[in-house]
């Protein structure tokens, strides 16, 4: 690899320290990931930042020096230029489904439905659901607290009105 440390750092930061092919983080993998030449150097790819992809070792190894020289052939999903949601759909089970030919090629070539990734994505999905449930519960508790406060205020108003009615009745019956 011929990229400088500063370019490597920029590539890592741009990728938010995650595999750009499918999101495994440095924390998940227990260390820094690799910098891949999307258009491989062995096939005339350069070191420009737009050609560099931060990815896990396995995605890098599975991709290897893959490159379709013929533009009429299906190309690999490019995380630098392609929109992930246009090429893939992630199910709640953690399995990744391809929506395009590029997506199909990428899922197959990079083995993006390997069991550890499916398990990780399913766990991430469950954590997201749990976080959403917690947020909804917190909003419900906040609403109940507000309603309880409003109820106390209304009760106090009713007590004041009752007290005023008693005074009025006392005044009317004293005459």
Task: Report yes or no: 34 and 57 within 8 Å, Cβ to Cβ.
Answer: yes
pLDDT of residue 3: 84
Q: How far is Cα 102 from Cα 63, in angstroms, rounded to an integer?
A: 13
Q: Are 71 and 97 in contact (CB under 8 A)?
A: no
Helix (H, G, I), strand (E, B) or coil at 36: strand
| Calpha distance 119→123 (Å, rounded) | 6
pLDDT at 28: 87
Question: Are 27 and 69 spatial neighbours (Cβ–Cβ below 8 Å)?
Answer: no
| Alpha carbon distance 35, 31 (integer Å) | 13
Q: Which stretches in the chain have pLDDT values below 50?
A: none
- Is residue 79 within 8 A of residue 103, CB to CB? The reply is no
């Amino acid at each position: 690899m011929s990229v400088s440390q500063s370019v490597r750092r920029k590539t890592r930061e741009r990728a938010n320290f995650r595999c750009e092919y499918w999101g495994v983080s440095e924390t998940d993998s227990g260390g820094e990931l690799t910098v891949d030449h999307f258009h491989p150097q062995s096939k005339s790819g350069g070191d420009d930042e737009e050609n560099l992809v931060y990815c896990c070792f396995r995605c890098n190894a599975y991709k290897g020096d893959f490159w379709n020289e013929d533009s009429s052939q299906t190309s690999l999903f490019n995380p630098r230029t392609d929109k992930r949601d246009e090429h893939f759909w992630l199910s709640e089970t953690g399995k990744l489904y391809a929506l395009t030919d590029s997506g199909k090629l990428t899922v197959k070539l990079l083995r993006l439905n390997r069991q550890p990734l499916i398990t990780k994505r399913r766990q991430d999905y469950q954590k997201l659901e749990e976080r959403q449930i917690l947020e909804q519960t917190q909003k419900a508790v906040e609403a109940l607290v507000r309603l309880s406060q409003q109820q106390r205020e209304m009760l106090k108003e009713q007590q004041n009105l009752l007290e005023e009615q008693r005074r009025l009745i006392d005044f009317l019956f004293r005459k």
